A and B are shown apart, each in its own frame.
Chain A
Amino acid sequence: MSQPATRTQAKKRGGSQGVVEQRSAAQIWGKSTLLLVILFWCLFPFFWLIMTSLKKGDRALNSPDLFQGPFGIQNYEAVFQQDFLLNLRNSLAIAGMTTILCVLVGSFAAYALARLPLKRKILLLSAVLAVSLFPPVALVPPLYELWRTLGLLNTWEGLYIPYTSFTLPLTIFILTTFFAAIPKDLEEAARVDGASPFKAFYRVIFPLAAPGVFAAAIIIFVSAWNEFLLASTFAPRNPEIAQTVPVAIAAFTGAVEFQRPVGTITAACVVVTVPMIIVALLFQKRIVAGLTAGSVKG
């Protein structure tokens, strides 16, 4: 157990400091400019969302000028008048369950693929991949019939079970890659000490692959959170049961037919993006910090 820890520690230290040593003033300038460009690229549309969500009435789309008022928080009030907290709860539960199931089931499969003597691994990987490749829209009618028969329409299970199935291929591929990249001698050492393969897996491999595991977790969570097609077919209505956030946002209507409630949509979008950024940051810290976050701050 001590061996892997030291190893990652060494890795971490080099990773951040090696680059710092070599900086010159010009590099810093170049880097700052680059940073600004990146921030603009990533954040300008989000900034647009925020500004638009704060505009009152029809101004949201009438004027290309982001700073033309009048401004107000009516759109946010409108969002929370619509059971939006219930939608957030549903999405959190469904995406959370999908993530747990995927990581759990997927890491066992990935470990077997990366480490254990299985025949025809490539064929197995291909089959796994194939699962996620059928055009989703063509899967909806048969799945709907099946779900209807099984009573899974308008339930959380009805969503997180298919999400898990369709995200497992990605999970397995990511985790297999990361498990396979871990030096074998570490595991061997643990095995010499008498650990079973199972123990070796969750004591040695799993923690060492933490960056991959957490990267996979964020990806699973976000894709489950944002999924629209299945969610809008299997749980199209009723926030108090299972309607998810994207479906709720798509169901926003204007005051009259044809009117598109851009203000409310953008406000809702800002509302859901904030918790997502927090979740992503939490998980991402694990990716970057690896095992040693407790001991090395950097």
Chain B
Amino acid sequence: MIRPRNRSRWAAAGVLSLVAVAACTPGGDEGGGEGELVWALGGSEAKPGGVHQQVAQLWSEQNPDTPIRIEVLPDEADQQREQQALELQAEGSNFDVLGVDVIWTGEYSTNGWLESLEDVRGEIEEASIPGAFESSTWGGELWAAPYNSNAGFLYYRTDLVDEPPTTWDELCEMAIEIGEQENIGGFIGQGSRYEGFVVNWLEYYWSDGGELFNEDQSEVLFDVDTATAATEWLAEAKESGCLAPGFNTAAEEEARNEFQSGNVVFMRNWPYAYGLIQEDQQSPVRENFDIAPLPTFTGEGTISALGGFNNAVSAFSDNKEAAKDFVVWAATNEEVQSMLAEDAVPPTMQAVYDQFADDPVMSLLGEVLAEAKPRPPSPQWNAISVEMQREFFPAYNGEGDPAEASQAVQEFLQSTVE
């Protein structure tokens, strides 16, 4: 269109016409061969070299007729869910096995996206940790097979703390005292406004005897006073300097960085941080930290919110039988579950933890997971979580009243069961 007058314009035109000529999508192999299963899950371990890939390979070797291939979804849970949801909403058969976060079970099954696993309930229940099993059920029915679990630890500095605290109040006393002495922050966890904050908050609330729902999740057992007390404790911890300065903008990685750099005394985090801190040659706390169960308000026992994901069979799969065989196998096969443990990915099979009694992380996990509680996998969990974030986050940051916040959450929970 423009008459070319110099070389750079020629070059630009050349590049553009090249692009124009090449503007059809290069071919890629879509879909698998006959009988091939597709396992849609996200995260680093699903990538080439990750432990889930090894699990898939093991299955494919043993079942050459129905090999399985991983479709790697994004790292972030919200995006994994959205990509699965778009496919399932369109009733697409591209995914056979779904990696379903422990909080999505209710939503997926209510939408009719999952195949019931009731007929294999017995063997799965027998093999799995109770909390993980509970997170796979909704409405009294089994919709997924537990696969990968998780729970929170208290990380503490062995050079500054002799005995880890057993109550949250004790933790704050120590955090303030030692923090002032050493001129570092006290306690850090997941305090930013996102799902992780709800997990942390629930750990305070549950450890004071609070509950959300009754067993079959038909009735609200939310206790406004306990919730208010937990939120007030957190608000006070923030005021008194028990919480490290970056607490209310910290997610997992911000917390780990603070602890790993020696800037805090205590940290609430998942087991993944343990290995990373130990590997970091320059970390001042590399040899000066340990892990303990999370404190409670009563000083008795420990309680942690349960994380991880379960495997479910898509209701739109063309190969449901094989897919079902796979999820049962992944949940109950000791070799598979041990592979996870060896890669520091927490398994869900009770028996495996006994084998790893010498491993500090796995042995503590085994202990903590026995007491871990899943967040209720209600179809409305995301809405409940958003509501809790909107109410409790400002309340602990001095921009809302803890009692009013608890009242509002109570009403919201009530509205979800009606």
Contacts and interface: CB of A to CB of B under 8 A. Distances in A.
Given A156-B25, A260-B253, A250 B74 contact: yes
Given A62-B261, A96-B15, A237 B5 contact: no
Contacts of A61: 253, 257
B251 to A, nearest CB: 9
Interface string A234-275: 001110111000000011111111111000000000000000
Contact of A210 (B2, B23, B79): B2
Contacts of B86: 141, 144, 233
Interface in A143-194: 144-145, 148, 154-157, 160
Contacts of B90: 144-145, 148
Given A97-B20, A157-B25, A254-B44, 4 more contacts: A250-B76, A253-B75, A256-B272, A286-B9
B44 A256 contact: yes
Most central of B71, B76, B276, B344 by chain A CB within 10 Å: B276
B23 A258 contact: no
Contacts of A202: 1
B8 interface: yes
Interface in B247-305: 252-253, 256-257, 260-261, 270, 272-273, 275-276, 280, 282-283
B72 A232 contact: no
B270 A258 contact: yes
B6 A257 contact: no
Contact of A207 (B2, B30, B260, B345): B2
Interface string A98-128: 0110000000000000000000000000000
Interface residues of A, number: 50
A92 interface: yes
25 contacts: A62-B283, A92-B19, A96-B15, A96-B20, A97-B23, A144-B86, A148-B90, A154-B25, A154-B28, A156-B24, A160-B23, A233-B83, A236-B74, A240-B28, A241-B25, A241-B27, A242-B25, A250-B76, A251-B75, A253-B75, A256-B275, A257-B43, A257-B270, A259-B44, A285-B8
Closest CB pairs A-B (n = 5)? A96-B19, A253-B44, A241-B28, A155-B25, A156-B25
Nearest to B45: A257
A15 to B, nearest CB: 19
Interface in B1-20: 1-3, 5-6, 8-9, 12, 15-16, 19-20
A235 to B, nearest CB: 9
B210 interface: no
A157 B6 CA distance: 32
Most central of B27, B44, B261, B283 by chain A CB within 10 Å: B44
Interface residues of B, number: 53
A259 B79 contact: no
B33 interface: no
Contacts of B25: 154-157, 241-242
A240 B26 CA distance: 8
A253 B47 contact: yes
Contacts of B16: 96, 99-100
A77 interface: no
A293 interface: yes
Nearest to A151: B30
